[in-house]
């Protein structure tokens, strides 16, 4: 069976170019951790602080999945603000074996909407 490659392309401002990284082979332990982080993220939608903590945890996990070929700061700075949630969701989905992640399911937007709804109430 061919190895599926999980890749990410990050912008490096000092070099003024994109660099592409390929994650080494992922194993079942990685899958379990991804599933636990995903479940935890689904529970943490009550306020923006919980959402940001969950996002940070998943970004740190992704850095480890890529065997620290880039660090958390490079990950955060290498994506534009509107790309972050889609890239995190895509990579987590690929680790968990999802065929395709729904484009309209934005965990940041969900938290913002719920926070705004709480303010209105």
Q: Is residue 7 part of a domain?
A: no
pLDDT of residue 55: 94
Q: Which domain covers residue 41, as residue numbers?
A: 27-120
What is the mean predicted confidence (pLDDT) over 43-62? 92
What is the mean predicted confidence (pLDDT) over 27-49? 92
Q: How many CB atoms lie within 10 A of CB 34?
A: 22
Q: Is residue 116 part of a domain?
A: yes
pLDDT of residue 110: 46
Q: How many domains does the chain have?
A: 1
Q: Is residue 38 part of a domain?
A: yes
Q: Is residue 32 part of a domain?
A: yes
Q: Is residue 69 part of a domain?
A: yes
Higher pLDDT, 22 or 113: 22
Q: Is residue 110 part of a domain?
A: yes
């Amino acid at each position: 069976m061919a190895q599926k490659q999980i890749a990410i392309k990050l912008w490096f401002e000092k070099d003024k170019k994109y660099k592409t990284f390929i994650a080494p082979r992922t194993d079942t332990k990685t899958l379990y951790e991804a599933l636990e982080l995903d479940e935890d993220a689904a529970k943490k939608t009550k306020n923006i602080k919980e959402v940001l903590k969950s996002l940070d945890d998943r970004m740190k996990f992704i850095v480890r999945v890529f065997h620290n070929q880039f660090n958390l700061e490079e990950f955060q700075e290498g994506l534009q603000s509107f790309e972050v949630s889609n890239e995190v969701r895509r990579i987590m989905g690929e680790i968990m074996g999802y065929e395709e992640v729904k484009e309209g399911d934005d965990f940041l937007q969900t938290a913002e909407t719920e926070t705004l709804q709480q303010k209105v109430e």
